[in-house]
Chains A and B, each alone.
Chain A
Amino acid sequence: MTAANGLRSLPGRLKRGSARAAMSTSWSDRVAMAIALLMVFLALFGGAVAPHGGEQIFSGKELQPPSSDHWFGTDQNGMDVFSRAVVAPRYDVSIGLVGTAIAVVTGVVIGLVAGYLGGIAILLIRTSDMFQAFPVLILAMAVVAFLGQSIVNIILVVGFINAPLYARIAYTQAIRLRKREFIQSAVVSGLSPSRILWRHILPNSLGPVVVQLSVTVGWTILLTAGLSFVGAGLRPPTPEWGSMIAVGANNMVTGQWWAAVFPGLFLAMAIYSFAAVGDYVSRRLTVAA
């Protein structure tokens, strides 16, 4: 009947079918994972792979179109676009990874403490819920501008801006776990609250956190590039995708497209790969659960 009318509504059949689809690793999943790994690899060794230095200036060779010397051409400052695009993960991807780590650690700690122990931490949760109403990008721009545009400040800002999400997830998990028998028997056997939190609540609440990780990395990269694009993040000559696009955009209307198009392509590939890996992980974990 499902085949006849096209509606896949038979619950049993649908579940089996979708479970199989979710467990299988399609070629697009593999490509995404490969790109994500490549991005991490470039973050570590991009400088060694790039044919030229990321901040090396070829004077007299400004705005050269793509050629065998400069695969992606040169920008208006005479810097090699390919080398810069390859070195950029050192900033973009690193900020994405470290920023996400900060978001997870602060968010999960606040969320678990608020969910299990309650107290003043609940106030923090309520406040961080309100942050959903705030314009993230404008807020990040303003805070980075006032703190000073250093890499450390950018990492801290993009990290803390994502912390409320994890605080909310961990909070929900902790509240759910608090009522479970194994936690209650741990309480009865006299385990200290900190030990219960660390040994029992934390490991059992990490599932939904893991699902979000990769997506946050991608989103943090996008945020970093967006900040740099409007000049509120990293600035040239630092090789960073967002600021490279901003520099390249100056020459766009006169037809020199390469300085903006290629870094954007790398940026989109990085964001897509991390988002797709997150998607894959979440499909696998939801089915397994």
Chain B
Amino acid sequence: MLIYVGRRLAVIAVQALVITTVVFGLLRLLPGDPSYYLAGPQASQAQVDAIRASLRLDQPIPVQYAAYLGNLVQGDWGRSIRTTNNVLEDINHRLPATLELITISLILGLVTMVPLGVWSSMHQSHPAARVAAYWGRLSGSLPDFWVGILLVLVFYTALGIAPAPVGRLDISQVPPSGGTGFLVVDSVLSGRWDVLLSAIDHLLLPVATLAVVYSGMFYRQTRRAMERELETTRVLFAEACGLSQREIALRSLRNSVAPVLALIGNSYAFMLGGAVLVETVFTWGGLGQYAVAAVQSSDYFAISGVVLVTALFTLLVYFFVDVLNAYLDPRIRTS
């Protein structure tokens, strides 16, 4: 197991290096000189040159790349034009908001859809399974930003039971300082029950949006994995031996864990980059909204920082999924 983890860590290190290279390459490939953006429209040529020299843009590409890597490792991810902070600091502030949103959405989606998928695979001709299958195909086609707007329309504008789609808390409330950055967790830890309620209140609609859009995928994948399992001769044999349906389902479940784990990993990683539009609808103030603002103001380092952090996070998620799979399935460890 340890050998497997070690090997996997080595792979991840190489991949991370490739990712930094790609991000660096993209920065260089994009037209336009960042020193002009950073200097602003009124800067003189001398100022632009000074910035270019300070960014080492006047030096050969390999030197630039080495300097870029060195800065990354030391935590200097460049300065954001818009916020004037170190990009890494900005990201640190905003990442928890996005993670809280997507984590809760993911859990909600899985808790509802995995059992439904398993159940449908065992009752394929049941009307409810047919409806669910239809939902499985439909939900992924719904544009998440549009679903978010619809939910706001119904639950805020029409019914008035949801809070306005601005931010994670009521304006009057001060979030508990420090901690994990997850408002739900921090408020419990500091005993601020009013904050907890408000946080949950604000989470409801964006979480529902993401759950609606991703639930179809969760459902389809679980059901497909389980159906494939139930078609095996192993199950046929179990049936012939007279095992109960319940027993067979429980035993098949374990074999369907690998695809479902892969699904969780993929969707978690995908949602981090994909929650951008939902964050925009709900003015969530997370990483996605930061990315949008960065793009709109040509905020060079902020964009590359977000892309980099998302890609690295994805690698990390894949790593955990692989390790978990290896833990569950000895065949992976030894191959």
Select the stretch in B67-75, B81-89, B192-200, B270-278 that faces chain A. Answer: B270-278
Which residues from 301 to 335 on chain B have a C-beta closer than 8 Å to any C-beta of chain A?
303, 306-307, 310-311, 314-315, 318
List chain B residues, Cβ under 8 A from A260.
Answer: 146, 149, 153
A230 touching B123 by the CB < 8 A rule?
no
A115 to chain B, nearest CB (A): 21
B230 touching A8 by the CB < 8 A rule?
yes
Other-chain residue from B157, B276, B303 in contact with A253 (beta carbon distance below 8 A): B157
Chain A facing B: main interface SS: helix
Minimal Cβ-Cβ distance residue in B for A21: B124
Once the chains are docked, how many angstroms separate the CA of A271 from the CA of B143? 9
Contact string against B for A residues 262-280, beta-carbon threshold 8 Å, 1 for contact and 0 otherwise: 0010011001100110010
A218 touching B153 by the CB < 8 A rule?
no
List chain A residues, Cβ under 8 A from B306.
Answer: 135, 138
B247 to chain A, nearest CB (A): 11
List chain A residues, Cβ under 8 A from B143.
Answer: 222, 225-226, 242, 245, 264, 267-268, 271
Once the chains are docked, how many angstroms separate the CA of A209 from the CA of B36? 43
B310 touching A138 by the CB < 8 A rule?
yes
Once the chains are docked, how many angstroms separate the CA of A146 from the CA of B37? 11
B217 to chain A, nearest CB (A): 12
B137 touching A252 by the CB < 8 A rule?
no
Which residues from 249 to 299 on chain B have a C-beta closer than 8 Å to any C-beta of chain A?
269, 272-274, 276-277, 280-281, 288, 291-292, 294-296, 298
- Given A138-B307, A275-B137: A229 touches B280 (CB 8 Å cut-off): yes
Chain B facing A: main interface SS: helix
Once the chains are docked, how many angstroms separate the CA of A118 from the CA of B265? 31
Once the chains are docked, how many angstroms separate the CA of A230 from the CA of B289? 10
- Given A7-B239, A133-B315, A275-B137: A146 touches B276 (CB 8 Å cut-off): no
B141 at the interface (CB under 8 A from A): yes
The number of chain A residues with a CB under 8 A from chain B is 54
Select the stretch in A9-17, A59-67, A69-77 that faces chain B. Answer: A9-17
- Given A130-B22, A139-B307: A255 touches B157 (CB 8 Å cut-off): yes
B149 touching A142 by the CB < 8 A rule?
no
B182 at the interface (CB under 8 A from A): no
List chain A residues, Cβ under 8 A from B30.
Answer: 142-143, 146-147
Minimal Cβ-Cβ distance residue in B for A28: B134
B153 touching A9 by the CB < 8 A rule?
no
A142 touching B236 by the CB < 8 A rule?
no
B13 to chain A, nearest CB (A): 14
B248 at the interface (CB under 8 A from A): yes
B231 touching A142 by the CB < 8 A rule?
no
Once the chains are docked, how many angstroms separate the CA of A251 from the CA of B190? 39
Contact string against B for A residues 232-256, beta-carbon threshold 8 Å, 1 for contact and 0 otherwise: 1000000000100100110011110
List chain A residues, Cβ under 8 A from B230.
Answer: 7-9
Once the chains are docked, how many angstroms separate the CA of A130 from the CA of B23? 11
Minimal Cβ-Cβ distance residue in A for B234: A9
B149 touching A226 by the CB < 8 A rule?
no
Once the chains are docked, how many angstroms separate the CA of A10 from the CA of B122? 13
B152 at the interface (CB under 8 A from A): yes
A265 to chain B, nearest CB (A): 8
List chain B residues, Cβ under 8 A from A279.
Answer: 137
B292 touching A252 by the CB < 8 A rule?
no
Q: A7-B235, A139-B307, A229-B277 are in contact. List 9 more A-B contacts (CB 8 A).
A: A7-B245, A9-B235, A133-B19, A135-B310, A137-B274, A232-B295, A249-B281, A271-B142, A272-B141
For this complex, 15 residue pairs linking A to B, each with C-beta atoms less than 8 Å apart, are A6-B123, A14-B231, A130-B19, A132-B314, A133-B269, A135-B272, A141-B295, A226-B145, A230-B292, A232-B295, A245-B146, A252-B152, A261-B150, A275-B140, A276-B137
Question: Lowest 4 A-B CB distances belong to which pairs?
Answer: A135-B273, A264-B146, A272-B141, A133-B314
